[in-house]
């Protein structure tokens, strides 16, 4: 579904006014243009400014560490970009398929430990360590196959519980295995570049990873694979009854998600310099990622990005402001409650509803014809009962 970003979410989401029952005798005459054509036209028109905006955005991100050179700021920026990547990766599995994973720290930590151990064994230093990231991702992706084959047999709450169980197995293993250095952990290789711009290589690799994660999400969202994932989210049994091979589709999404998450974990551990079980496998990591996706908008492309861009710097800032770290965590927990209770669909979809009148004016101007007229019908704010009741 290619045109969804342009029309489906701008118009379709708001298009919640119930249509009167179709009178089949008065069904639309065949001479009217098909909606697909109108949509494609609308999409072409809206694509150029969107691409321009994207280019500006990427330029801003690319210049950021050159303008803001304060190491505290760039440190927060690096961690934020890592979370943009992870939140997008989490969303392309959990947000699209509806299988909420609370165990992505398993893939994050696996990537992290792999990077540290491999760099040590192969005597890699400096920027050469970055070349291990795809491998770290691959190892996490490989691990996702058996975990997925087990966990994806069950749904909803049971699935969540199983992912939490995996998380604790991973954490306990890391604390007790020799290869991970037990509870004292392992030291990552020390980067050999200039201290003044120490954060910059991490920043740019993080940016690359974040862009890759978002690009992958866009590709999936527009593909048949993504459509099947969203069909599984809405009604898995029905999808199976229409020929969708649910297991390979779900597993494929989990593997892709684990791949990005593993790379992010590798980058993070190289950045902070050491791998200790309770930080590499951190339950708060999973909660933070889920909160970011929920906050921005579960299952959307921009939502997890926005969530990470807002929440991660906020958390880091609060953490730096306070002498003990617990206050920021308590605040974060409270925020989680507020989001789940009041913005269960996330900021973006909710904001989309509020923006309706303004957007209608624009749509009507840019998009003559009956579709715009139909959008222009009074829009009811409340969402229909069947749509999006869980996210």
Which residues of the chain form contacts with another protein (CB under 8 A)?
A: 1, 4, 7-8, 11-13, 15-25, 27-28, 30, 32, 34-36, 39, 224, 227-228, 230-231, 233-235, 237-246, 371, 374, 384, 386-388
Q: Residue 26 or residue 190: which is nearer to another protein going by CB?
A: 26
User: Given the structure tokens 């989490």, which residue do they identify?
Assistant: 90
To another protein, the closest distance from the beta carbon of 23 in angstroms equals 6
- Torsion sign across C-alpha atoms 330, 334, 340, 343: negative
Proportion of the chain in helix, strand, coil states, percent, rounded to 5: 75, 0, 25
Least Å from the CB of residue 189 to another protein = 46
Shortest CB 233 distance to another protein, Å: 7
For another protein, the closer CB: 32 or 327: 32
Residue 30 Cβ vs another protein, minimum distance, rounded to whole Å: 7
Q: How far is the CB of 31 from another protein (least distance, A)?
A: 12
Sign of the Cα pseudo-torsion (293, 298, 299, 305, in order):
negative
Q: Is 86 helix (H, G, I), strand (E, B) or coil?
A: helix
Structure tokens at 257: 């998600």
The residue assigned the tokens 């109108």 is: 38
Would you tell me how many other CB atoms lie within 10 Å of the CB of residue 260?
Answer: 27
- The separation between the first and the last C-alpha atoms of the chain, rounded to the nearest angstrom, is 20
Spatial CB neighbours of 343, under 8 Å, sequence gap ≥ 6: 294, 295, 350
What is the full DSSP assignment across 199-238? HHHHHHHHHHHHHHHHHHHHHHHHSHHHHHHHHHHHHHHH
- Least Å from the CB of residue 12 to another protein: 5
Q: How far apart are CA 326 and CA 330, in angstroms?
A: 6
Q: Cβ closer to another protein: 248 or 333?
A: 248
Least distance in angstroms from the C-beta of 370 to another protein: 8
Our CB check for another protein shows the closer of 120 and 362 to be: 362
- Give whole-number Cα distances, 388 to 25, 274, 318, 384, in Å: 32, 41, 33, 8
């Amino acid at each position: 579904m290619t045109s969804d970003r342009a029309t489906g979410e701008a118009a379709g989401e708001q298009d919640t006014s119930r249509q009167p029952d179709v009178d089949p005798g008065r069904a639309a005459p065949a001479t009217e243009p098909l909606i697909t054509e109108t949509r494609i036209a609308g999409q072409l028109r809206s694509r150029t400014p969107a691409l321009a905006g994207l280019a500006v955005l990427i330029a801003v991100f690319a210049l950021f560490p050159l303008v803001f050179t304060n190491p505290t700021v760039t440190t927060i920026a690096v961690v934020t970009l890592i979370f943009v990547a992870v939140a997008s990766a989490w969303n392309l599995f959990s947000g699209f398929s509806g299988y909420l994973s609370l165990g992505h720290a398993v893939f994050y930590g696996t990537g992290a430990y792999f990077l540290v151990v491999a760099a040590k064994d192969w005597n890699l230093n400096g920027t050469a360590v970055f070349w291990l990231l795809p491998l770290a991702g691959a190892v996490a992706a490989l691990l996702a196959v058996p975990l997925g084959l087990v966990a994806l047999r069950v749904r909803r709450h049971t699935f969540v519980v199983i992912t939490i169980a995996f998380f604790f197995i991973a954490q306990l293993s890391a604390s007790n295995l020799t290869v991970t250095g037990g509870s004292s952990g392992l030291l990552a290789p020390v980067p050999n570049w200039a201290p003044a711009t120490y954060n910059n290589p991490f920043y740019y690799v993080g940016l690359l990873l974040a862009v890759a994660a978002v690009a992958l999400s866009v590709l999936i969202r527009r593909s048949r694979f993504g459509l099947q994932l969203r069909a599984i989210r809405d009604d898995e049994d029905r999808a199976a009854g229409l020929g969708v091979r649910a297991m390979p589709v779900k597993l494929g999404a989990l593997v892709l998600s684990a791949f990005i998450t593993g790379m992010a974990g590798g980058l993070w551990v190289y950045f902070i310099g050491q791998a200790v079980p309770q930080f590499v496998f951190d339950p708060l990591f999973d909660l933070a990622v889920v909160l970011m996706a929920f906050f921005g908008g579960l299952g959307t492309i921009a939502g997890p990005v926005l969530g990470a861009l807002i929440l991660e710097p906020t958390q880091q800032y609060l953490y730096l402001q306070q002498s003990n770290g617990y206050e920021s965590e308590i605040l974060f927990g409270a925020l989680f409650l507020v989001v789940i209770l009041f913005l269960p669909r996330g900021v973006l979809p909710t904001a989309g509803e509020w923006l309706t009148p303004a957007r209608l004016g624009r749509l009507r101007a840019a998009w003559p014809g009956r579709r715009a007229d139909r959008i222009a019908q009074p829009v009811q704010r409340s969402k229909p009962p069947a749509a999006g009741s869980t996210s």
